[in-house]
Amino acid sequence: MASGIFAVLDDIGALMDDVAVASKIATKKTAGILGDDLAVNAEKATGFLSSRELPVLWAITKGSFINKLIIIPIALLLNVFFPAAIKGALILGGFYLAYEGVEKIIEYLFHRHEADSAEKTIEIDETSNEDLEKTKIKSAIVTDFILSVEIVIIALGTVLEEPLSIQIITVAVVAILATIGVYGIVALIVRMDDAGYKLIKRSHNKGFFAQLGALLVKMLPIIIKFLGFVGTIALILVSGGIFEHNIEYVHHLWENWPLTLKEVVLGLTAGLLVFCIIGLFKKLMELFKLKV
């Protein structure tokens, strides 16, 4: 009986060792996309009243966990029965990310002042602020879903030769670490100013800690703007990378180009294409309504 228990424990230990090794490899493989995920979600989790930042971030985090609970079993099943569907889902997600990135660029270049004035109005109107929260949370969860699909697929790709048990545990571990890591760092970033104000208050606005607190307060808007910029670039690069790695024709296109440049061009092209299609569709809908 005892030997049987020790045999089971030995099997569990061996399994955990295999999972640890596989998880380490998978985490390294997904490091790039996790960096993009951080930049994108940090930008989406900001722009709220200070008292609402953590509740909004928690809502997005819960949505991220739900996304992964949906994605992991579906990815494992599709990998067994219909692998082509995973590639199709990634490509569709790539078009969505490209569109989001291009939309942000166009909004910044051509509608920046309108967005600034709208933000001022929203800060005064609580009802509008609640609507903004819901919209940004929904947008963040949708974007997280697409990025989570890629994280899960990349993690799964590193353990395709392993038994199903190791595949399941490895992908689950990477998904959990990704969610906790990304949103934990985002939480620290968005609370920088509060930490700074507390340092200033406790040090009575004197000495090293007061200066550190002032620096944290001053740095937050700079970091947020930087992450907004990086997040937009990340959307373009991630989408371009999806097309590069999952569309055979595109993969062999412009082979002499640097990979980053190729991904940027692919992402921008796809984003502009979707943006034009959606814009045309909206115009047609408006004309149809007028005629009706």
Ordered by start, the domain boundaries in the chain are 2-291
Which carries the bigger pLDDT value, residue 154 or residue 48? 154
> What is the residue whose two structure tokens read 């990704």?
178
CA–CA separation, 146 and 94 (whole Å): 8
Least confident of 39-48, 97-106, 130-139: 39-48
CA–CA separation, 185 and 46 (whole Å): 13
Residue 282, pLDDT > 70, answer: yes
* Span 36-53, average pLDDT: 66
pLDDT at residue number 11: 45
Cα–chain center distance at 174:
14
* Residue 233 tokens, joined: 């670039």
Share of the chain above pLDDT 70, in %: 74
Least confident of 24-33, 41-50, 135-144, 253-262: 24-33
Please count the CA atoms within 13 angstroms of the CA of 271 that sit on its side-chain side: 26
Residue 118, pLDDT > 60, answer: no
When the pLDDT of each residue in the chain is averaged and rounded to a whole number, the result is: 77
* Span 97-119, average pLDDT: 75
* Residue 284 tokens, joined: 């047609």
CA–CA separation, 240 and 287 (whole Å): 34
Query: Rounded to 5 degrees, what are φ and ψ at 151?
Result: -60, -45
* Residue 167 tokens, joined: 């595949």
Residue 121, pLDDT > 50, answer: no
pLDDT at residue number 135: 84
pLDDT at residue number 6: 42
Among candidate residues 11, 19, 9, the one with its CA nearest the CA of residue 165: 19
Query: Are 271 and 99 in contact, with CB atoms under 8 Å apart?
Result: yes
CA–CA separation, 222 and 228 (whole Å): 10
Query: Can you list the alpha helix ranges (DSSP code H) found in 203-258?
Result: 207-246, 248-251
pTM: 0.68
* Span 70-83, average pLDDT: 86
CA–CA separation, 170 and 24 (whole Å): 9
Residue 45, pLDDT > 90, answer: no
- The residues, any chain, with a CB within 8 Å of residue 231's CB and separated by 6 or more, are 36, 39, 40, 41, 42, 43, 44
Residue 125, pLDDT > 60, answer: no
pLDDT in tens, 199-235: 888 888 888 888 888 888 888 778 877 877 877 887 8
Query: Are 241 and 263 in contact, with CB atoms under 8 Å apart?
Result: yes
pLDDT at residue number 274: 94
Residue 249, pLDDT > 70, answer: yes
Residue 260, pLDDT > 80, answer: yes
* Span 86-108, average pLDDT: 85
* Residue 13 tokens, joined: 């230990």
Share of the chain above pLDDT 90, in %: 11
Among candidate residues 42, 150, 132, 171, the one with its CA nearest the CA of residue 96: 150
Query: Can you list the alpha helix ranges (DSSP code H) found in 30-163?
Result: 31-44, 50-81, 83-110, 112-124, 126-157
pLDDT in tens, 161-186: 777 788 888 888 888 888 888 888 88
